[in-house]
């Protein structure tokens, strides 16, 4: 069993972004800026946005972290997203999810213009993935594909089983892997005979949000296992995969922490850099 070291691969991807940006800055290009909007004080989101802001600083992106009160109304949030999206000095805009229950996430994220949609959550970005057009791939699926390729894991022709069908991970992951010529099965809470399906997988991507959900009896020998979960339990941070059991069967496995989490952040840096370059429109090249 080998570890898919997300911390190391993420550091490499961030270094590439840092070098790319430095080259633009050396030619007098304006600062690249990412707006990170968070509403309320969800403790997990606090950690994620802090990590995103830290990564921005490390690579040379101006991270504008905006925290809005839990009491923010839909109207106020929408006005805010529109205003920040219209700011020409801001190249990427992301709305940290989940939003408080009284707010409509889809209506909010849909306001991010496609060219600044570095999270890839808008219908336009997801639709581009469907039709195979260039666009922003969501950061967790993007980071996972980057990590698998870094370890030279062949994707074409492989049977990938994704557990979870969220807009953030499962759905864009399935589309992106189809574009890599994988055979994709998406499983979810209503799937029957889950273990039978996961046992037939070459690659399993587990994104269910339940600690140690994927157990060794669900994994075929030699499978590649990617754990998207970050669950805070009494034992500390635990993934969606029962690591101690599953690692005896897997050929490659991501640890938690240090697997998918850092890749998501690094891929956000990559998307923001790409958004910036697109918006410079050939200047400074
Ligand atoms: N919440 C959980 N993952 C993500 C992510 O990748 N982006 C945003 N905006 N919110 C999230």
The answer to whether 58 and 75 have CB atoms below 8 angstroms apart is: no
CA dist., res. 116 & res. 274, Å (int): 10
pLDDT of residue 266: 98
Task: Cite the beta strand spans of 45-176 per DSSP E.
Answer: 62-68, 92-95, 159-163
Distances 271 to 106, 140, 175, 278, 285 between C-alpha atoms, Å: 20, 12, 18, 10, 18
Residue (of 182, 118, 119, 175) closest to 149 by Cα position: 182
Q: Is the CB of 140 under 6 A from ligand 1?
A: yes
Looking at residues 15-31, what average pLDDT do you find? 98
Residue (of 74, 39, 16) closest to 272 by Cα position: 16
For 263-278, what is each residue's pLDDT tens digit? 999 999 999 999 999 9
For 100-120, what is each residue's pLDDT tens digit? 999 999 999 999 999 999 999
Q: Decide if 29-112 and 139-261 have a common fold.
A: yes
pLDDT of residue 126: 97
- Ligand 1 center to 236 CA (angstroms): 21
Q: By three-state DSSP, how is residue 119 classified?
A: coil
CA dist., res. 203 & res. 153, Å (int): 10
- Which ligand 1 atom minimizes the distance to the CA of 109? 9
For 227-264, what is each residue's pLDDT tens digit? 999 999 999 999 999 999 999 999 999 999 999 999 99
Residue (of 44, 89, 45, 41) closest to 64 by Cα position: 89
Residues 6+ apart with CB under 8 A from 192: none
- Ligand 1 center to 168 CA (angstroms): 7
pLDDT of residue 177: 98
The residues spanned by each domain of the chain are: 29-112, 139-261
CA-CA-CA-CA torsion for 22, 26, 30, 34, nearest 10 degrees?
0
pLDDT of residue 242: 98
Looking at residues 83-87, what average pLDDT do you find? 98
Q: Is the CB of 117 under 6 A from ligand 1?
A: no
Fold of the domain built from segment(s) 29-112: Rossmann fold (3.40.50)
Peptide bond into 155 cis (omega under 30): no
CA dist., res. 168 & res. 85, Å (int): 21
96 a catalytic residue: yes
Question: What is the residue-averaged pLDDT of the chain?
Answer: 97
CA dist., res. 11 & res. 14, Å (int): 5
Q: How confident is the model at residue 61 (pLDDT cuts 50, 70, 90)?
A: very high
For 29-41, what is each residue's pLDDT tens digit? 999 999 999 999 9
- Ligand 1 center to 196 CA (angstroms): 30
Q: Is the pTM of this model over 0.95?
A: yes
pLDDT of residue 97: 97
Tokens for 189?
Answer: 């809470």
Fold of the domain built from segment(s) 139-261: Rossmann fold (3.40.50)
- Inform me whether the pLDDT recorded for 62 exceeds 90: yes
Catalytic residue, candidates 64, 116, 117, 119? 119
pLDDT of residue 158: 98
CA dist., res. 11 & res. 143, Å (int): 12
Residues 6+ apart with CB under 8 A from 127: none
Strand 2-3 with 252-253, pairing: parallel
- Inform me whether the pLDDT recorded for 63 exceeds 90: no
Give CA 189 to chain center in angstroms: 21
Q: Which is it for the CA torsion 97, 98, 100, 101, positive or negative? A: positive
For 145-200, what is each residue's pLDDT tens digit? 999 999 999 999 999 999 999 999 999 999 999 999 999 999 999 999 999 999 99
Q: Is the CB of 168 under 6 A from ligand 1?
A: yes
């Amino acid at each position: 069993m080998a570890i898919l070291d997300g911390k190391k691969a993420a550091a490499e991807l961030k270094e590439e972004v840092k070098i790319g940006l430095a080259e633009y800055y050396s030619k007098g290009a304006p600062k690249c800026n990412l707006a990170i909007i968070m509403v309320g004080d969800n403790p997990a989101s606090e950690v994620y946005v802090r990590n995103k802001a830290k990564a921005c600083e490390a690579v040379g992106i101006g991270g504008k972290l905006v925290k809005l009160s839990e009491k923010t109304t839909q109207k106020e949030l929408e006005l805010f997203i529109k205003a920040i999206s219209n700011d020409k000095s801001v190249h990427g805009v992301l709305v940290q999810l989940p939003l408080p229950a009284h707010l409509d996430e889809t209506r909010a994220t849909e306001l991010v213009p496609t060219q600044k949609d570095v999270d890839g959550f808008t219908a336009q970005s997801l639709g581009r993935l469907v039709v195979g057009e260039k666009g922003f791939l969501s950061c967790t699926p993007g980071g996972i594909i980057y990590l698998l390729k870094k370890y030279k894991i062949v994707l074409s022709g492989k049977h990938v089983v994704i557990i979870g069908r969220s807009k953030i991970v499962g759905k864009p992951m399935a589309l992106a892997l189809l574009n890599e010529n994988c055979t994709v099965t998406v499983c979810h809470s209503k799937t029957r005979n889950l273990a039978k399906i996961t046992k037939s997988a070459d690659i399993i991507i587990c994104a269910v949000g339940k600690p140690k959900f994927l157990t060794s009896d669900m994994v075929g020998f030699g499978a590649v296992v990617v754990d998207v979960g970050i669950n805070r339990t009494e034992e500390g941070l635990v993934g969606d995969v029962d690591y101690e059991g599953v690692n005896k069967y897997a050929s490659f496995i991501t640890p938690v922490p240090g697997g998918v989490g850092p890749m998501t952040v690094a891929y956000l840096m990559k998307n923001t850099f790409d958004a910036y370059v697109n918006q410079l429109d050939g200047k400074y090249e």
